Amino acid sequence: MVKIIRDNKAELNGYLLTFSDNLIASLSQPMSCDNCYILKCLYRCITYLQPETLSSKCLAFTEIMQSLIDVALRKTILVDTLAVHFGFETICWFIKKVCR
């Protein structure tokens, strides 16, 4: 599956962007910002986006990740550490792409 995505990155870019936007929209639902599966999926989608698409959405994605991590760190109980991990991973991916 990963090979298919890598080989067809340009064609899949629009679909991945739409899917990423839908995942971000789903984060406003109750309990979704703690859902490590949504955040992992979002992270994977973002890593396959084309650089020009990523650069145009980077600030918006980073602000969303920052707010999710902020909410998670303010909680005193029941913090999904994997969700926080994938939030940090996504921000690290943006930093890596920006610094290249």
Whether the pTM exceeds 0.85: the reply is: no
Give the orientation angle of helix 81-98 with respect to helix 36-48, to 10 degrees: 20
How far is residue 96's CA from residue 51's CA, in Å, rounded to a whole number?
12
Residue 76 banded pLDDT, cuts 50, 70, 90: low
The pLDDT of residue 1: 64
Tens digit of pLDDT for each residue in 15-29? 888 888 888 888 878
Tens digit of pLDDT for each residue in 42-68? 888 888 888 788 777 777 887 887 887
How far is residue 47's CA from residue 53's CA, in Å, rounded to a whole number?
11
How far is residue 20's CA from residue 41's CA, in Å, rounded to a whole number?
8
Query: Where are the strands (E) in the chain, listed by range?
Result: none
